[in-house]
Amino acid sequence: MKVKVLSWNIWIDGKFDEIKRFLEESDADIVGLQEVKDDDPERDVIGFLMGLGYEHIFAPIIHERDDGSKHRYGPAVFSRHRIESSEIVRLSESVDRTAALADINVGGGALRVVSTHIIHTHFKPSDEPVNQVKRLLEFVNNERTIVMGDFNDKPESEVLKVAADKLVDTDPNLTPTWSNYPEGCGRCNPQKIDTRLDYIFVTPDIRFSSFEVGNSSASDHLPVSVVIEI
């Protein structure tokens, strides 16, 4: 059975009409989003996707931005297949970061799907993001598991090396996904799309094909997708 999986950090400052259009046209079976908000009626992506027939699990946090403003946002999993059970995973005792976990009935069996957003340390070495990924891996089964999201670090980082110890990156080319806009990070001030932050990982038993980095200016991140076979 083939299933299209999409992951995208839609950015709390993203262009919502373009985000909705891309999500609808992508026609993905399972979607992992980051920076989803549920308290802004003008950016109701949860309601929009529910209207398209998706079930969901949302894992919000209260996030304070560099300018001091606070927002309720977080990662989410959306599925056109039935979600049998779900869980909000806390990734740290000191930093409010989460993952949304859904056990989805696909092909007559459970497929574990995780969407996450690891803390951004602006590419400075830190134990915190490494520990968050280690915590995340505690919830990864040995088979039939997808982990996707904004890992906020480069492929050569320790963060991604830890993830690769148990999971397979579905994009061997490590295509850049960030940043469309310098204001996507006031401290980093990115000037072009030249950094890979967004990943879809699978357990080794899952076959995959057709990895793609989407073309959209709706967010500071580009969407990524892959077709898996289970």
Q: What is the DSSP letter of 25?
A: H
The domain spans of the chain are: 2-229
Give the pLDDT confidence score for residue 32 in this predicted structure.
99
Amino acid at 143: E
At 38, is the pLDDT very low, low, confident or very high (cuts 50, 70, 90)? Answer: very high
What is the spatial distance between Cα 23 and Cα 49, in angstroms, rounded to a whole number? 8
pLDDT for residue 18 is more than 80? yes
pLDDT for residue 64 is more than 90? no
Mean of the pLDDT values across residues 138-150?
Answer: 97
Percent of the chain with pLDDT over 70: 100
Q: Which residues contact 77 (CB under 8 A, 6 or more apart)?
A: 30, 31, 32, 56, 57, 83, 86, 100, 101, 102, 113, 114, 115
pLDDT for residue 68 is more than 80? no
What is the spatial distance between Cα 100 and Cα 115, in angstroms, rounded to a whole number? 5
Mean of the pLDDT values across residues 117-144?
Answer: 96
Range name among 32-36, 106-110, 201-205 with the lowest pLDDT average: 106-110
Q: What angle do CA 176, 222, 64 make, to 5 degrees?
A: 105
Quick one: CA torsion of 47, 49, 50, 52, rounded to 10 degrees?
130
Question: Is 9 within 8 Å of 207 (Cβ atoms)?
Answer: no
Give the pLDDT confidence score for residue 71 in this predicted structure.
80
Three-class SS of residue 143?
Answer: coil
Question: Is 123 within 8 Å of 189 (Cβ atoms)?
Answer: no
Question: Is 198 within 8 Å of 206 (Cβ atoms)?
Answer: no
Give the pLDDT confidence score for residue 216 in this predicted structure.
98
Model's pTM, two decimal places?
0.97
What is the spatial distance between Cα 10 and Cα 219, in angstroms, rounded to a whole number? 5
What fold does the segment set 2-229 form as a domain?
Deoxyribonuclease I; Chain A (3.60.10)
pLDDT for residue 67 is more than 90? no
- Each residue of 77-113: pLDDT tens digit? 999 999 999 999 999 999 999 999 999 999 889 999 9
